[in-house]
């Protein structure tokens, strides 16, 4: 009974408020801005060589806390996605399922479709475009915009900042366009 | 000898004592992302194709908690555990071009991978190993942005 309860996916009214509380908690702890994509910059500053002004700063001073937070996210992914794994497929609406089936997605059993996110597919043009190309755009775009779904979508919007409104409207618009127009070209 | 090595960095960076708390916060966030299925490509596509309200309900309820809490913390000049008064640096608007262009590029990548940066890393923990490649590609993308930054419109 308790086991079943722990493995069940959470409804939006649990997930959303907890997300909000994570952002509030970081402010309360150390006046820290919630935002994951800054870590991509910190990782560059810490690990990658090159004479680039954007990466010349004390990443330990400004970003160590966030890199530690990011390490926690990986651990949390293991706890939530492996230890407390839900035995059921992700319960998207039947309209969403039909819409994705229409572009060639048929395996709805995991967290991500096996038609795309396997090592085998990664070795194909489609896999490289989606995983490497998509990942590259995420890194480039979030650095350009100065934030992602957490930094702009939650932290910036909760602080009522106009730049975050611009960024959020833009990434939702491009996300919809990408899902409707690009995905059908990339899935066989 | 142990005391000398233990106290010197602590004096230099007093806030590092909070690192375990940030780790704990990250673990909590990772669990919320996976149990809330925000790491799921299917959930993201459902939202981006306007075929279900789940993601929008999550965002709305997150903001319903965070927005008044932020305002309250700022108005009452609450001190953080680390000791400083909570204050949020406003992002510079400028011409706003970077937020639109950057947001558009990020949005395209988001649609392809079906995950934003937090979920990308949470998925590695959840056992979707291929996402480690997407994480590395994202780091590379950020590096290229940093390299091209002087020539890009902001």
ipTM: 0.96
Cα within 13 Å of Cα(A101), Cβ side: 10
Contacts of A80 (CB under 8 A, 6+ apart): B30, B31, B32, B33, B34, B35, B122, B126
Smallest Cβ–Cβ distance between B80 and the set A29, A47, A54 belongs to A29
Report if pTM > 0.80: yes
Q: Which residue of B has its CA nearest to A126?
A: B112
Distances (CA, A) of A56 to A45, A48, A52: 7, 11, 7
Q: Tell me the shortest Cα–Cα distance from B4 to chain A, in angstroms.
A: 21
Contacts of A167 (CB under 8 A, 6+ apart): A145, A146, A147, A152, A156, B99, B100, B102, B103, B106
pLDDT band of A6, cuts 50, 70, 90: confident
Selected residue with higher pLDDT from B127 and A3: B127
Chain B residue numbers touching A176 (CB-CB < 8 A): 48-50, 107, 111
pLDDT digits (tens, 9 = 90+) for A50-108: 889 999 999 999 999 999 999 999 999 999 999 999 999 999 999 999 999 999 999 99
Burial class (CB in 10 A: 0-12, 13-18, 19+), B1: exposed
Distances (CA, A) of A113 to A76, A95, B43, B89, B108: 21, 17, 11, 39, 18
pLDDT, average across residues B109-115: 97
- In total, the C-beta contacts within 8 angstroms joining chain A to chain B are 530
Q: Kindly list the domain boundaries of chain A, sorted by start residue.
A: 1-85, 116-188
Question: Do the beta carbons of residue A181 and residue A188 sit within 8 Å?
Answer: no
């Amino acid at each position: 009974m308790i086991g079943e309860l722990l493995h069940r996916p959470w409804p939006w009214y649990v997930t959303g408020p907890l997300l909000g509380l994570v952002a509030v908690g970081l402010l309360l702890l150390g006046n820290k801005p919630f935002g994951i994509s800054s870590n991509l910059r910190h990782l560059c500053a810490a690990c990658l060589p090159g004479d680039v002004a954007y990466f010349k700063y004390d990443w330990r001073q400004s970003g160590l806390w966030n890199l530690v937070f990011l390490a926690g996210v990986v651990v949390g992914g293991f706890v939530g996605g492996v230890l407390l794994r839900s035995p059921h497929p992700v319960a998207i609406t039947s309209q969403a399922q039909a819409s994705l089936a229409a572009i060639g997605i048929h395996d709805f059993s995991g967290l991500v479709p096996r038609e795309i996110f396997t090592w085998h597919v990664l070795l194909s043009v489609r896999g490289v475009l989606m995983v490497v190309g998509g990942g590259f755009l995420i890194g480039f775009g979030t650095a350009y915009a100065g934030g992602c779904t957490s930094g702009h979508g939650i932290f910036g919007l909760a602080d009522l900042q106009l730049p975050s409104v611009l960024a959020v409207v833009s990434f939702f618009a491009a996300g919809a366009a990408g899902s409707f127009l690009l995905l059908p070209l990339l899935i066989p | 000898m142990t005391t000398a090595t233990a106290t010197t960095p602590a004096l230099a960076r007093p806030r590092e004592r909070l690192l375990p708390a940030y780790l704990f916060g990250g673990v909590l966030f990772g669990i919320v992302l996976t149990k809330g299925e925000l790491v799921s490509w299917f959930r993201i596509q459902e939202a981006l194709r306007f075929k279900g309200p789940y993601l929008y309900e999550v965002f709305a309820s997150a903001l319903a908690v965070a927005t008044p809490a932020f305002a309250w913390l700022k108005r009452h000049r609450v001190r953080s555990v680390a000791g400083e008064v909570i204050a949020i640096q406003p992002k510079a608007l400028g011409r706003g071009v970077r937020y639109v262009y950057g947001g558009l590029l990020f949005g395209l990548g988001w649609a392809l991978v079906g995950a934003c940066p937090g979920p990308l890393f949470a998925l590695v923990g959840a056992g979707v190993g291929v996402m480690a490649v997407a994480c590395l590609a994202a780091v590379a993308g950020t590096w290229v942005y940093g390299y091209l930054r002087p020539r890009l419109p902001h």
